[in-house]
Structure 1
Amino acid sequence: MSCGLLLPFIVVLVGFSWPGCHSQDLSIAVEFSEIVFADVSQLNLYLTMLGNFTDVDPESGLTGIFADLWGKGVSDECLTDGWTLITDTLQFKEYALQMRAAQSHPPRLTTMAFTGNGKYLANYELCLGVKEDDPTREVPMTAKVCDMNEYVIGVQIGMCVPSSCSESDLYVFINTVLSKYNFISGVYFSCLTKYQWTWDTIFVTCLLSLFAIGVICGTTYDLGFRRLPSKAKDSTQVVSSNVLPNAKQPQQNQVLELNERDGLSSAENDADKYGAIVKEGPDNHEPIVAPVENNDVEASGAGNKVAEKKPRKRDVLLDKILMSFSIVTNGSQVLQAKKSSANLGALNGLRVLSMFWIILYHTAYFLFGTRLDNVYHLSSGVGGEVWFEFIWEAPFGVDTFFVLSGLLVTYLTMKQMDKSDGRINWVLFYVHRYVRLTPVYMICLGIWTSLLLPIGIGSNKTESFIAARTICKEYWWTNLLYINNLVPYPGSVNLCMGWTWYLANDMQFFIFTPIVIFLLFKPKRRRYGLLVLVCVTVGSCIVTAAVAGYWGFTVGNYSGQYNNRSDDFPPDADRIYAKPWCRVQSYTVGVFVGYLIYKYRGRKVCIPLIWNLLGWVLALGTMVTVLLAMSGTSETEPLPQWFAATWLGIRRFLFAAGVGWVAFACVTGNGGPVDKFLSWNFWLPMARLNYCAYLLHPCVIFHFLLTKKAMFHYTPYEHMVFFFGVTVVTYLLSLFITLLVEVPSIGIEKALLGRPSRK
């Protein structure tokens, strides 16, 4: 064990934790830190560790503290390797010097005090390269990286130690040494090793493999059997009616039905909403013909006419299921950028840009606690500038999703009711929603909790993903039931896939939306529907303000609270952020806008220029005010409590109202250049991938950061590069999961449930 190499870090810990350290006078800690950087002092420490070379323990053949620890909780091989490493370091042997160079430099307390960074990572490649770089070199041991963590101080120091030393060996050694100084510290070790595959990782892999097999079979069937008309033309057979029912545009409907993710995915409203009516679109391919079976053909004299039987139900079902997996057909439809005539195109731009905004925020926010080496610069330096408020306030992008979700559910459902004389199969209304959201959701949950663990190595990676896995093992069922924003109460955004609180809220709002839609659709009850919307919106604002006032929540740059009622709750307890009664105000705005769009039936609304400009100024001005209003507030003096509670109660409604105007103006022909930009065809394929992008982007960010072997130094330029990289990788992975899981799941659901009657 590199026990001698540990001693400088022990000195640092003692220096950091010395009683004088916690006062404003840091001289004692600085003095101890200075010792670490003096090679002559380290030499003396090494010699002290080794003790008297003439005083050799007869049993172990070791000296100094290594002999003292023989047989006392540290493995013999570890002690021997540690003693060898120290003596070889003093003899300047290459491998020993390489291991020493691979270790992180012990920090100065002053550095930590001014940067906020307590993580100092070892050089992973240099440490493991002790044996791997030159296999012919005679090296008495292999090396590995271990982190020494002091959770009281918050320091993490990377070290290069012999592979024979376990985490418990290092723990026993460090605490034995510290006890000699009558010092107790919360030190533990975590070594960077590959995580072994477990049954749940294998299960998720097998599940993805089954989908992959389905894609291979479906694509082969599509290319090898469904696209045979050109061959049939060259033959003497005339195929007249052996086309499977509903075979034209085989998978277009299921791809278009990605709008079931209303707030996140595309707004192609001509899809078969809730399975009530299917609008068959023109096919871009040649007519699709099923393979001709011998028992369906009767040869007639000199001619080769084909007399066919009606395809069997099971053949039609099998055809639909296989075509659900065709990556050729599905891929062409997912990536198609051509809008339909009834498409609410501007909504696609809104949702994709909101997704970009959220990714931009998460690429900054997730740096804290992972790999950021200039913490105070991001939190108080550049992070305190006015322009950076547009990044810190990106969670308002989720309110955009709520507005679009309420808008699309209301508009599409009322449009469908208009076609079917007010009749909707309400059972399938809910079944379709649940079945089409959940499969890909659960697959992404499996990727997050199981598949990312054995992929890649990094400091704190295993511990972080094991913690996430442990939480999901206990509460995965709350995600399945879409109640993870409420259970366990009061809840936290740090629960299983914490960012999916949005999906829980959206599903809960979806469940109750038909009540309002039914009232709005009936002319005689329309005023009651509008009254319900007003009452729910106002009630949500009042409840949010009341909760904020009761718990003493503040706004702006002041970080304190008005009272201590929150002291009995965990620091990350959630009482407002993910609660449906506080979030529904944005959704009801979307429901109202969806009703207005339905009322005008997609017609252009002629708003006088002056009123249109006034609407845009008020909408954009309100949104910018919500984002920037608190940026210049005092860090030491809180705003009045009544103002803080009121602001927390209405700010999301105000932002949602601005988004609602943008959506309404663009859809009704009053958007001008904004509408042209938001309706750009480029957004349409991206919008179809938005749902998977929302589920996967934290996986991409966390996996990248936790497998990163160096710290991230924040600058706006590096942040932009990081953001663009994460965005590209996220949408590529989203395309993969969409074609592998999401679209096939929609196709299977349609094939099994079929086309319901109008009830």
Structure 2
Amino acid sequence: MVLVRGPLLYRLTLWAVVTAAYSGNVTERCMQDTKAFLWELHQDSPSPYAALMYDAFGKIGSDVKGGNTNRPGSLQECLSVQGPSFSGQYCQVFLKQLNQVSETDDNHREDSEENSWVYSCLQAFSIQRSSQGVLSWTGTRASYSSLNGVRILSLLWIICGHTIQLSAWNNLDNDKRWKETVDRNPLYVFAFSGPVYLAVDTFLLLGGLLSAKSLLGSIQKSDDKLSICLVVSYLFKRFKRVQPLHLFIICLAIGFFSVVHRGTFWFIAEDEILNCKKYWWSNLLLVNNLLTITDICAPWTWYLSLDFQFYATTPLLVYLYRLNKGLLVAIAAVLLVLSSVTSAVLTAFLHLPVHQPTTLAYKSYFQYYYNKPYTRYGPYLIGILSGIFMTTKKNNLIRLQWQAALGWFTSLSVMAVLVGLAYVLREVPAQASAPHALYQGLHRPLWALTVAWIVLACEEGYGGFVDRLLSLSLWVPLSNISFACYLIHPILIIIYNGKQETPIHYTDINFFYLFIGHTALTLVVGYVLTVLVEKPYLFLKGKNTKYQN
């Protein structure tokens, strides 16, 4: 039998199902089965069930104008169909005034699309819908499961660091005793948080890895073409993903700090109000990291600007990868060396500390080094290269147990050395110091390489208990609200510190409870912001686009 597949049957079938779907009469399962059937019809060798279904269809005959509109098809064939997840059911559709179908089809589709877009806008602000999936314990198969654990552990480290820094900068009543006790001891994690800046480098690595993975996926869906339109769409999607909640937080900070009754240590909040009213535009354009640290509105948001600036370089590096892999390696090596050398030279000539200071005694550290793209690009670049490799690799990099053991030993050893040297080199020398400059130039890319190894080992089945820890289902819902948590937690800390009537007294247990309290409140408020602000905006879509979570 020769199977002839006409476009009219395809259009009528799809039009009927889509129309019914808009009216709420077709389930998602039915829609998927219909799409699968139509897809099979377009194959060179359709599945037997699809061919049988097509044969059972009532075909349009001749003399429709004379009234020949009822084509019943084959009842027995229809009932004998056994699809992948359904069985055939027989029904008849009486075709009336066929000449109007072609005339009204486009108008009906436009009306349906218009109604669907308005309905989706209203649905976007439904709390019931926006809260769905936020607390899900199941991650997406397309992502690397270990990243959730890495992301949340890094976020907790940052919250811990900000809890300590924002308190130690202004209102400790036993500041000298605190420094003598914890300043040089890496065991005081909650009382000082160690080199917390490494957690930011971890975020930069993850950002680069996921940006490359996302762009390569978009290229694959676009017939393997990297076009200007695709790059513009890629950047715009990132901009609209970040900015709604970011700008909401800026407005929230200005409004909340303005109406809350000031406390004894409210001067930080007052500075935030002035800076945000004057330099809000830098947050809107995602360039606030280029300003002086004392002029930044919501200083912790410098990371979003830095991340977007690095994100914009991903298309160029992916283009180089597709053009010539050797050229990509050469340019990436040059960029990595330039970033490291710049950091080392600035440290030597400006006498910068290698351990992030807990006071504003070293303003040049923040003004010229800490949040600038020319000193922080190394981890993001390594993330991009890791994302390209992990997305395009054909075989596993790790094939033998001894390779995995050597990799784990090396990565954990490098991590320990980097953390330890941060304490060894804590004192800022009066003259240019080669060890300080060398550490400043190398510690960020080295840390990024060790984290990249951990992710790779976990994904290739050599993670052991570390993979089981980082891939716990517990991290999935926390990861879903991590962006909101990062943006809101400094506001909560500033409010707590600013409302104190007396300076905070340092003890180990006090700082531990501060960290636990700030974290718990951050998770609650982060969930609320995710459901009420972040998710609704993501659900909003254009008339011809479909939201993908």
Into which bin does the TM-score normalised by the smaller protein fall? Answer: 0.7 to 0.9
Unpaired runs of at least 5, structure 1: 1-238, 251-302, 560-565
Between structure 1 and structure 2, the one with the greater Rg is 1
2:179 corresponds to 1:379: yes
Structure 1 equivalent of residue 247 of structure 2: 442
Of 513, 516, 541, the residue aligned with 2:317 is 516
**1:581 is the counterpart of 2:380:** no
Residue 337 of structure 1: how far off its partner (Å): 1.2
Cα shift at 1:241: 4.7
CA–CA distance in 1 between the matches of 2:376 and 2:325? 24
User: What code does the residue aligned with 1:458 have?
Assistant: G
* 2:223 matches 1:421: yes
- The Cα offsets for residues 256-287 of structure 1, whole Å up to 9 and x where unpaired, read as xxxxxxxxxxxxxxxxxxxxxxxxxxxxxxxx
Aligned with residue 486 of structure 1, among 269, 290, 293: 290
**How far apart are 1:607 and its partner, in Å?**
2.6
Q: Which has the higher helix share?
A: 2
- In the alignment, the residues of structure 1 paired with residue 328 and residue 311 of structure 2 have an alpha-carbon distance, to the nearest angstrom, of 16
How far apart are residue 459 of structure 1 and its match? 1.2
> Secondary structure at 2:168's aligned position in 1?
coil
- Give how far 1:636 is off: 8.8
Distance 1:466 1:417 in 2: 47
Amino acid at match of 1:746: L
% identical aligned pairs: 26
Q: Is the 8 A contact 2:113 2:543 kept in 1?
A: no
Shift of 1:552: 2.7
Equivalent pair of 1:605/1:670 in contact (CA under 8 Å): no
**Residue matched to 1:399:** 201
**Aligned partner of 1:398: which letter?**
V
Shift of 1:350: 0.4
Structure 1 equivalent of residue 22 of structure 2 = 244
Contact 2:286 2:308 in 1 (8 A): yes
Structure 2: where are the runs of 5+ without partners?
1-16, 30-90, 96-104
Counterpart contact for 2:350–2:364, Cα < 8 Å: no
What's the CA shift for 1:339? 2.1
State the match for 1:754 in structure 2. Answer: 545
Structure 1 stretches of at least 4 aligned residues deviating more than 4 Å after TM superposition? 245-250, 305-311, 554-559, 569-573, 603-606, 633-640
TM-score (norm 2): 0.76
Distance 2:437 2:506 in 1: 34
The structure-2 alpha-carbon separation of the partners of 1:753 and 1:513, relative to structure 1 and needing over 3 Å to count, comes to farther
Return the alpha-carbon distance in structure 2 between the equivalents of residues 641 and 240 of structure 1. 70
Q: Distance in 1 between matches of 2:216 and 2:312?
A: 16
Distance 1:337 1:434 in 2: 27
Residue equivalent to 1:368:
168
Q: Give the one of 511, 522, 535 matched to 2:334.
A: 535
Partner of 1:471: 275
Shift of 1:371: 3.4
Q: SS at 2:252's partner residue?
A: helix
Q: CA RMSD in A?
A: 3.3
Q: How does 1:103-122 map to 2 (within 5 A)?
A: none
Q: Is the 8 A contact 2:208 2:387 kept in 1?
A: yes
Q: 1:411 aligns with which of 197, 213, 217?
A: 213
The 8 Å contact of residues 22 and 116 in structure 2, kept in 1 or not, is answered as yes
Counterpart amino acid of 1:577?
Y
Q: How does 1:349-748 map to 2 (within 5 A)?
A: 349-388=149-188, 391-424=193-226, 425-461=230-266, 463-487=267-291, 491-492=292-293, 495-520=296-321, 522=322, 524-555=323-354, 574-600=367-393, 605-633=397-425, 635=427, 641-748=433-540
Q: What residue is the counterpart of 1:26 in the other structure?
A: none
> Once the 2 structures are TM-superposed, how far is the Cα of residue 654 of structure 1 from its aligned partner?
1.1
Contact 2:257 2:270 in 1 (8 A): no
Q: Contact (CA 8 Å) 2:163, 2:515: kept in 1 or not?
A: yes
The answer as to whether partners of 2:492 and 2:518 remain within 8 angstroms in 1 is yes
Instruction: Report the Cα distance in structure 2 between the residues aligned to 1:409 and 1:605, rounded to whole angstroms.
Output: 21
**Paired letter, 2:220:** D
Change (3 A) 1:753 1:629: farther
Q: Which amino acid aligns with 2:450?
A: G
Q: 1:725 and 1:240, CA in 2 relative to 1: closer, same or farther beyond 3 A?
A: same
The CA deviation at 1:404 is 0.3
| Residues 150-197 of structure 1, C-alpha deviations (whole Å, 9 max, x = no match) | xxxxxxxxxxxxxxxxxxxxxxxxxxxxxxxxxxxxxxxxxxxxxxxx
Asked if structure 2 preserves the Cα contact closer than 8 Å seen for 1:330 and 1:739, the reply is yes
* In 2, Cα distance between equivalents of 1:531 and 1:676: 36
The match for 2:124 among 321, 324, 334 is: 324
Once the 2 structures are TM-superposed, how far is the Cα of residue 517 of structure 1 from its aligned partner? 0.9
CA distance 1:368–1:402, change in 2 (3 Å): same
What CA deviation, in whole Å up to 9, does each residue of 1:523-567 have, x standing for no partner? x512212222111111110111122222233546999xxxxxx99
Q: Residue by residue, what CA displacement relative to the aligned partner does 1:186-221 show, whole Å, maximum 9, x if unpaired? A: xxxxxxxxxxxxxxxxxxxxxxxxxxxxxxxxxxxx
